[in-house]
Amino acid sequence: MAPGEPLGYANLGLTYLRQGRLADAETELRHAIELLPSDPDVRLILVEILRSQERELEARQELEASLLIDSSHVKTLYALATLDADSTDAGPAARRAAQLERVVALQPGNVSARVQLVDAHLAAGAAEGASIHLGQIRQLVPEIPVEGRDLFEQASLAAQRGDAAGAQGAAFAFHNVMRTTPIYQQGLLELRGPGGVLLGFPVVTFSETLTPGVRDPETVLAALRFTDVTQTVGMPGPGAGGGRSLAVADYDGDGDRDVFSGGALWRNDPTGFVDVSTQAGVTGSAPDHALFGDYDNDGALDLFLSRGATGVLFRNLGDGTFEDVSAQLEVSLAGGAPLFIDFDQDGDLDLVVAGSLSTGMYRNNLDGTFTDVRGRAGTEAATGGVQGAAAFGDFDDDDDLELIFSGASTTSLFDNQRSGVFVEVSDARGLTPGSAGVVRVGDYNNDGFLDLLTAPRGGRGLVLHLNDGDGGFAVDERPTVLLEGAATLIIHDAALVDFDNDGWLDVVLVGESEDGGAGAIRLFRNSSAGRFDDLSSLVQGELPALRRLEFADFGDDGDLDLFVSAVDGSVRLIRNDGGNANRYLKMQLVGLSTGSGKNNHFGIGAKIEVRAGGLYQTRVVTGPEIHIGLGQHSRADVVRVRWTNGVPQNLFYPNANQSMIEEQILKGSCPFLYTWNGERFEFLTDLMWKSALGMPMGLMAQGGTAYAPPAASQGFVKIPGHALQPRDGAYELQITGELWEVF
């Protein structure tokens, strides 16, 4: 480490902080500050260390010293304000309000700061100040969430009357509503940066003239490594359950990845993972399957657990705790491989559970209850079970989601007929028969159609099913290196994941060696020519036998890391070092609950298409986070979101290496046709729009059951001669979209 370069000391201190070695972290950070006292970001890491040891006074002194050097550093001002956030006394609240006033003066458009400032003013008894900022929020937020409108008005009226105490309750409840909105979350990110163990991105960088540029794939691969950092980040150790269940998600909305495994919920804190199962209300025996999903469309991830033949559903209350609502659902949930999916396309996530004997299809009534529709859905024969699997995807590109189940004896594909009805098409689509306890969906050849990877859980070998473009499949025997490598491993889980950010889905396999002893992770890089190269040597360290695999960008550094559960119940984090040498985009979709309400909150089931130069790729949305590799492209040319209601939404020229929140845009209803009648434009008629996908045909079905196809809307409009007159030698028609859809 260069003695005079603060970069090394700052980042070494950051590493110690993530390890929980607070004293060592403080030593290195103070050395970095001595070398570079003017950098406020380095001091912010030191402040976090001090606060972790409850040394609040010293933390305040560091922040105040930093502001003497740079009085306009927003993150420092906000950090100083948060020191008084937990106090309900008027004095600290007034101090907090003063700091937040400085923040909003520097960032007047930051909604998160404004909402918090309202709370601070009211706690300090300053109703007039709160009223001013409530008025500013009204201007900054064009459409306040429906569930927060009455609360906002109550708080505003009370503040205008000078009743700070009367406004406080409504303002606090309004704040809770706003917390999950994209505009609030974006503002919060600007104020504090990433949270959890992400605290303190490496903040001191070398000069750009010293930064080597990556140009060719070989250079990227030379830098790529996968390292077991389990001890460094304090991952969960050995426990119950034999590694059968693993789920990774940000359940508490603080910006980092939490873990459920072995019957325990582990919250990601700055100093490592903490078992919060009891205080969070998630207790009971270790399950066979675990899955996070937002079934009630409130933006907070709920949790489904499968324990033997029984399923349990925990509702996220939004405050870091869960409630077991299984007894309130009006159905008895089966156990098995779960999916959260909107199978009836009504805008909320239904629940599918592939059990050992049959598959439960639970339609979400969005009132806290479910209805078991397995008889009507046509999936009674599908099975999954403890060792089974379930997946979804729009394999035939007809704007609805198909289901695939695999159990002990067979793998079945069900085509969506819409309205929650499915028909088995396994043979017709050419799906290879046989059991496959592992099923993964992804477009690995980048032709725009979703392919399949299947493998027997606890067995050897895998099968790649290549989509023919019509929803049918053919076995792909080209990647011999991948197929031969899979045949030497006892596979327990797999993933299609772009671990080198080149825009092509790679294959990761986990399990154990042929003799059933040591654990193994096999990496196969997609070379984009029907070939997969074995890069398993990039995984360093010895592992116990492995059972489950999840992936996420744990370090928020732009590449995907691997979470694996072991047979001893422990969870290992295999960090991706170097995958971010290529560029990337990270997205989160937000469906609106207002308007038509036909998309679930996180856009689960939506299709993402990305074009960057000659690189095209498509992804199906299966969780809140979408990660897209761009290779060496500095930006994408276009990102298209095809929502689950069939409506496309385009984003042009987003820059690489950024995280985006893409909110649904309400689209128009039936367009109106206006014609020039010689004097003015007059309304003539409304026009047909895209087919009502899945609408029952009724009498037009001629005695059977049929639903509207995707391309049925073709119409002709007769324009009377008197209604269309020349204007400056041309006929003019205007088509407008003045309404948005409400159903």
Give the model's pLDDT for residue 518. Answer: 85
pLDDT surpassing 70 at residue 306? yes
pLDDT category at 2 given cuts 50, 70, 90 is low
Long-range pairs for 552-555 at CB < 8 Å and ≥24 separation? 552/248, 552/257, 552/625, 553/586, 553/625, 553/627, 554/197, 554/233, 554/256, 554/257, 555/197, 555/198
| Tokens encoding 578 | 């170097």
554-585 pLDDT, tens per residue? 989 999 999 999 998 899 999 999 899 899 99
pLDDT surpassing 50 at residue 208? no
Closest CA to 155 of 137, 139, 142, 141: 137
The SS3 call for residue 344 is coil
pLDDT surpassing 80 at residue 88? no
Place of tokens 């990845």: 257
Cα separation, 326 vs 312, in Å, equals 6
pLDDT surpassing 80 at residue 386? no
pLDDT surpassing 90 at residue 317? yes
DSSP symbol at 366: S
Average pLDDT, the chain: 86
Give the model's pLDDT for residue 669. Answer: 65
Cα separation, 333 vs 361, in Å, equals 9
pLDDT surpassing 90 at residue 240? no
| Tokens encoding 574 | 């295999």
Give the model's pLDDT for residue 152. Answer: 93
Give the model's pLDDT for residue 403. Answer: 94
Q: What is the CATH number of domain 584-663?
A: 2.60.40
Give the model's pLDDT for residue 182. Answer: 79
Amino acid present at 360: G
Give the model's pLDDT for residue 442. Answer: 96
Amino acid present at 642: R
Give the model's pLDDT for residue 387. Answer: 54
The count of residues in the chain is: 743
466 or 742: which carries more pLDDT confidence?
A: 466
pLDDT surpassing 80 at residue 510? yes
259 or 200: which carries more pLDDT confidence?
A: 259
Cα separation, 101 vs 727, in Å, equals 57
In DSSP terms, which residues pair with 585 in a beta bridge? 628, 658
Count Cα neighbours of 156 within 13 Å in the Cβ-side half-sphere. Answer: 13
The pTM of this model reads 0.68
210 or 546: which carries more pLDDT confidence?
A: 546
Give the model's pLDDT for residue 199. Answer: 42
Mean pLDDT of 730-735: 90
715 or 131: which carries more pLDDT confidence?
A: 131
Mean pLDDT of 164-177: 90
Closest CA to 183 of 112, 255, 100: 112
Mean pLDDT of 215-229: 77
Q: Where are the domains of the chain?
A: 6-192, 246-325, 329-476, 490-580, 584-663, 672-735
395-454 pLDDT, tens per residue? 999 889 999 988 766 788 999 988 889 999 999 999 877 777 899 999 999 999 999 999
Cα separation, 608 vs 619, in Å, equals 5
In DSSP terms, which residues pair with 453 in a beta bridge? 440, 464
CB 397 within 8 A of CB 430: no
> For 6-192, which CATH superfamily applies?
Tetratricopeptide repeat domain (1.25.40.10)
pLDDT category at 695 given cuts 50, 70, 90 is low
Cα separation, 608 vs 627, in Å, equals 10
Give the model's pLDDT for residue 378. Answer: 84
pLDDT category at 54 given cuts 50, 70, 90 is confident
Mean pLDDT of 327-356: 92
281 CB-near residues (< 8 Å, 6+ apart)? 314, 321, 322, 323, 324
Angle at 49 between CA 45 and CA 55, to 5 degrees: 130
- Percent of the residues in the chain that have a pLDDT greater than 90, as a whole number: 51
DSSP symbol at 696: B
pLDDT category at 177 given cuts 50, 70, 90 is confident
| Burial group, residue 668, by CB count within 10 angstroms (0-12, 13-18, 19+) | middle
Mean pLDDT of 268-281: 91
